[in-house]
Amino acid sequence: MSDTGRGSHKSRIDKRLICECVIFSVLLIIATLFQVSFFRVFGKVPAIVLCFVCAIGFLCSEQSGAICGIVGGFFIDMLGSAEITFSPLLYMLAGYFCGYFLKFFFRKNFPSFIVYSLAVGGVRGIITLSYYAFKTKSFNIVDIFIHTVTPEFFAYLLCAPIAYFTVLGISKILQKAFKNK
């Protein structure tokens, strides 16, 4: 009899995870369209989808963050670039670790999310520098840091609160919907 109870609880968790991922996938499609079309901050395209993936991992769970990271990374690759890159893997890791490390460091609140956003933005900056180092023959770290990494970093940070509060609102609605069932 207790096994039946556990099975139904597990089923509710899976239904919630599936529902979260479907709803957040629609949100990621909208974010991807903004990111690849016309949205610019400081003359650079902010990583809007990455902001949302990190917010999903932070506010929902590491599983939701990882799944939505893969989905968001594929959307960015399909609509935003000519070639397939490591975006799904990198976004998956960002979403997963934002949820995973929340268990050990900080609490689930906005200031903590900004700290996580600073970390993710910093890692993204290091990846951007590495990309340019391997891609270009004349690599000038100061120029790339000043003209590319810094504006992208601050553009990312400006979009992080929008992602946080949007995902927070959706997750509260989902929480109420699943609490009533």
Looking at every residue in the chain, the average pLDDT score rounds to 81
Top pLDDT among 30 and 36 is at 30
Per-residue pLDDT tens for 96-129?
988 888 777 778 888 888 989 899 988 888 888 8
Rounded Cα distance, 153 and 124, in Å: 8
pLDDT for position 2 = 43
Residues with Cβ within 8 Å of 45's Cβ and at least 6 positions away in sequence, in order, are: 35, 36, 39, 152, 155
Question: Which is nearest to 46 in space by CA: 112, 131, 128, 105?
Answer: 128
Is CATH 3.30.930.10 the classification given to domain 2-179? no
Give 72's Cβ-side CA count (13 Å radius): 34
Q: What percent of the chain has pLDDT over 70?
A: 86
pLDDT for position 43 = 65
Per-residue pLDDT tens for 44-86?
777 888 999 999 999 988 888 899 999 988 888 887 665 667 7
* Block residue for tokens 């490591």: 86
Residue 44 — φ and ψ, nearest 5°?
-120, 160
Rounded Cα distance, 57 and 64, in Å: 6
Torsional class of 152: left (φ above 0), alpha (ψ -120 to 50), beta (otherwise): alpha
